[in-house]
Amino acid sequence: MTSQIQPSDQDLWSAITAGDEVAFGRLFDRYARAVYNHAFRLTGSWTLAEDVTQSTFLVAWRRRGEAAVLVDGLALPWLLVVATNTTRTEWRSARRWLAALRRLPPGRGVEADPADDVVARLDDERQMADVLAVVRRLPRAEREAVALCIWSGVPYGEAAAVLGINEGALRSRVSRARARLARMVVDGTKQEDER
181-190 pLDDT per residue, tens? 888 888 776 6
For residue 171, the model assigns a pLDDT of 95
Mean pLDDT across the chain, nearest whole number? 85
What CA–CA distances, in Å, run from 88 to 37, 98, 105, 144?
Answer: 16, 15, 28, 66
Q: Which amino acid is at 161?
A: A
Does 96 or 126 have the greater pLDDT score?
A: 96
Give the 3-state secondary structure of the chain.
CCCCCCCCHHHHHHHHHCCCHHHHHHHHHHHHHHHHHHHHHHHCCHHHHHHHHHHHHHHHHHCCCCCCCCECCECHHHHHHHHHHHHHHHHHHHHHHHHHHHHCCCCCCCCCCHHHHHHHHHHHHHHHHHHHHHHCCCCHHHHHHHHHHHHCCCCHHHHHHHHCCCHHHHHHHHHHHHHHHHHHHHHHHHHHHHC
Cα torsion angle, 44, 47, 48, 49, sign: positive
For residue 108, the model assigns a pLDDT of 54
- Across 141-170, average pLDDT: 86
Q: Where in the chain is CATH 1.10.1740.10?
A: 9-103
With a cut of 60, say whether residue 109 has pLDDT above it: no
pLDDT confidence tier of residue 113, bands split at 50, 70 and 90 = confident
Does 116 or 40 have the greater pLDDT score?
A: 40
pLDDT confidence tier of residue 48, bands split at 50, 70 and 90 = confident
Q: pTM of the full predicted structure?
A: 0.51
- Across 73-77, average pLDDT: 88
- Across 167-172, average pLDDT: 93
What CATH architecture does domain 114-194 belong to?
Orthogonal Bundle (1.10)
Q: Which amino acid is at 41?
A: R
Domain 9-103 has CATH 3.40.50.2000: no
At 130, phi and psi to the nearest 5? Answer: -65, -45
With a cut of 80, say whether residue 139 has pLDDT above it: yes
- Percent of the chain past pLDDT 70, that is, above it, reads 90
Rounded Cα distance, 158 and 144, in Å: 13
For residue 47, the model assigns a pLDDT of 87
In this predicted structure, which of 26-35, 46-55, 182-191 has the lowest mean pLDDT? 182-191
Q: Report the chain's terminal Cα–Cα distance, integer Å.
A: 81
With a cut of 80, say whether residue 193 has pLDDT above it: no
Q: Where in the chain is CATH 1.10.10.10?
A: 114-194
